[in-house]
Structure 1
Amino acid sequence: MTHLPAPLPHSGSQAGLQATPQVAPDGSGTAAIVVTYNRKELLTRCLNLLLEQTAVLEHIYVIDNASTDGTPEAIPQDPRITHVRLERNLGGAYGFSYGVEEAMKADHRFLWLMDDDCLPEPEALAELLKHKGESEALCSAVLARDGRYDLTQRRNFDDVRLRESHVPVAAYAQESTPLDLFTFVSVLISTDAVRRAGLPVRDFFFMYDDTEYALRLRRLGVKALLVGSSRVWHHGSVSYPSPRAPYNPLKHYYNTRNQLIVYRQYGTSIPWYAIRLLVKTGGAFIRLAQHGELNRRSAALAAHALLDAVRGRAYVRPIRTK
């Protein structure tokens, strides 16, 4: 893995990270969409860094999933920011879909999608825009907090064997590299592509909604590119490889269900899908047992995830987390 010496950006506090905003000759034409939930400190850092981009943003849409931590008061007072607070938390998937829908009502040329813990370097947007003639979906390099690339954010996809593989580290030193899958951690998508592809899926809650959209774009002939010179720090990427997190019923259910639904929709081999389904079924219970987390409740939730995937049922499922 490649270690990088640059510090994690803190808006307004790191010397050398600030740059004088300059509008490109034809304007950036870009609106950012930031989805947030109860992380006002990170959101404030993210928004300030967006306001300081050298390629000036036309607008920033903050989609707030019914935060209860005082998020509205933490948002910078800037006429370019629109804060939309949803009535309840329907997950990041709904937030991105809603944000894209709102942004498409205006006359933007590009939409820049990210979570509230995405901290872009000052030139991140400008570097993406340098490649706008090459692809309608451009992805930044994502760095974890330890300074290494988080390779899970940019991947390739074998639609026969249903395998995902990381884009090699060497690709991050290139000007641009084709890829199949991206997360919504700093991806720039043209509004023309959105008009053809439609809105991101709303009922995945979180997990694999961005993967589904990447594959939808790929099916339409849009080959996404990794732009190594565009860099964002991802606070949620603690280290790479990430240590195993404790059992989270939300992640367990949605990761299992949504991944299998996506594989079913975009895979091209029924036998390989059957194999992946069997592997996922065994893995869902074996890993729980290995870590002492298998009980009646977790087993039932895993079974529901598998059954919903087989039936192709995507919906926001009420899940107790405690």
Structure 2
Amino acid sequence: MPTPNAPRVLVVILNWNAPADTLACLQSLRASDYRNQHILVIDNGSTDDSLAVLSREEGIDLLANPENLGFTGGCNLGLQAAARYEADYVWLLNNDTQVASDCLSELVRAAQADHRIGLLSPVLYHRGSDSIQHGGSRYHLDPPTIEETADLSTARRWQNETPEQLVLWGTALLIPRATLERVGLLDARLFAYSEDTDYSIRCGLAGLRKCMVDRARVWHSWNNGVRKPYYYYYTTRNDLLMWRRHVSLATYLRVAFWNYRRTVRVLARLQDQPEHRQACMLGFWDGLAQRTGIYTPGRRAPRALQAMFRNAAR
């Protein structure tokens, strides 16, 4: 039974063609010592047997999207459900995570202790180890940069020095309902990647603090293999989309130049992967054009831009 007067938490898990991961995540949640939680699994247009598998699970609500709305679109459906579930907090939880039994309790305890905090995250560990995957990040607007660390002492120092400038990953992000009412939803234009950085910046600009709760632990899978072409498209494009929202035009032109130089370096690592190279160049082009939405395989950047990148690599 839920603890009397404990804040109500809506746990939102997004599934896309990975029911086994989602089931493992659910199993870890069921061992949680925080009882006043409700689990909403959102299937994001899966084309495998996800719906058949997940519909057999008890103790969850299952929402099926007929199409893939991306990480942002899928999660936004969960965030919009906060009022319907009368939730005090929404916990966006990746389906490829497993949580410590006291993780949610620690997150809620930290949130309740300081209502100036607008976003919270556990420390992320590599699956099956005590090795820290992500301890924290922080942003700067001039020049536009992101620092990142896996060192908890550094993360604590950043949190004490500049709590508004922390950047928290969206892997296991606890969002108070008051933050949603003040800041709004994730930027659906981004589809996937950079949305957590954008949301952290928006919260900081709204005067809200962010908190990495080092007593809260989540284990997260990490893909060290070959990335799909869409990864290079979204990460390249969304860097340009995100910073354009937050900096002046003059500063953005510097961002575009830095992005171009980084893209040249990435392309050099993708010499034997033509589709990945094309996706990366297209991401740069669409980012400059402020084009949003889903990646379409087969689209190409203009030939002149492709030639410019080829010449830069010589």
State TM-score, norm by structure 2. Answer: 0.83
What's the counterpart of residue 214 of structure 1?
A: 200
Structure 1: where are the runs of 5+ without partners? Answer: 1-21
What's the counterpart of residue 86 of structure 1?
A: 65
What's the counterpart of residue 105 of structure 1?
A: 84
| Counterparts of 1:149 and 1:220, CA distance in 2 | 29
| Counterparts of 1:260 and 1:287, CA distance in 2 | 16
2:125–2:220 contact (8 Å) kept in structure 1 = yes
> Post-superposition, which runs of at least 4 consecutive aligned residues in structure 1 deviate over 6 A?
none
Q: What's the CA shift for 1:250?
A: 0.2
What's the counterpart of residue 191 of structure 1?
A: 177
Note the 1:1-322 alignment, pairs <5 A. 23-75=2-54, 77-79=57-59, 81-132=60-111, 133-134=113-114, 135-145=117-127, 146-151=129-134, 154-167=136-149, 169-171=151-153, 177=159, 178=163, 180-235=166-221, 237=222, 243=224, 245-267=225-247, 270-293=249-272, 295=274, 298-319=276-297
SS in 1 for 2:81: helix
| Counterparts of 2:269 and 2:27, CA distance in 1 | 43
SS in 1 for 2:202: helix
1:188 partner letter: L
2:10–2:85 contact (8 Å) kept in structure 1 = no
1:36–1:64 contact (8 Å) kept in structure 2 = yes
2:16–2:44 contact (8 Å) kept in structure 1 = yes
What's the counterpart of residue 305 of structure 2?
A: none
Q: CA RMSD in A?
A: 2.6
| Counterparts of 1:147 and 1:68, CA distance in 2 | 34
2:66 partner letter: E
Q: What's the CA shift for 1:203?
A: 2.9
Q: Give % identity.
A: 21
Q: What's the CA shift for 1:148?
A: 1.2
Q: What's the CA shift for 1:314?
A: 1.8
2:82–2:88 contact (8 Å) kept in structure 1 = no
Give the aligned length. 290
2:271–2:277 contact (8 Å) kept in structure 1 = no
1:319 partner letter: P
Which string of whole-angstrom CA distances, capped at 9 and with x for unpartnered residues, describes residues 76-124 of structure 1?
Answer: 6334x11011101222121111121123322110000111112111000
State TM-score, norm by structure 1. Answer: 0.81
| Counterparts of 1:174 and 1:204, CA distance in 2 | 29
| Counterparts of 2:2 and 2:227, CA distance in 1 | 46
- Residues 176 and 191 (structure 1), Cα distance of their counterparts in 2 relative to 1, 3 Å cut: farther
2:270–2:277 contact (8 Å) kept in structure 1 = no
- Residues 44 and 185 (structure 1), Cα distance of their counterparts in 2 relative to 1, 3 Å cut: same
Q: What's the CA shift for 1:175?
A: 11
- Structure 1 stretch 52-61 or stretch 224-233: which is displaced more? 52-61
| Counterparts of 1:290 and 1:30, CA distance in 2 | 43
Structure 2: where are the runs of 5+ without partners? Answer: 300-314
The structure where helix makes up a greater share of residues is: 2
1:92–1:206 contact (8 Å) kept in structure 2 = yes
SS in 2 for 1:203: helix
Which string of whole-angstrom CA distances, capped at 9 and with x for unpartnered residues, describes residues 264-307 of structure 1?
Answer: 21235x44432331121132133223442464x55543343223
1:141–1:231 contact (8 Å) kept in structure 2 = yes
| Counterparts of 2:42 and 2:298, CA distance in 1 | 24
| Counterparts of 1:308 and 1:193, CA distance in 2 | 30
| Counterparts of 1:109 and 1:266, CA distance in 2 | 28
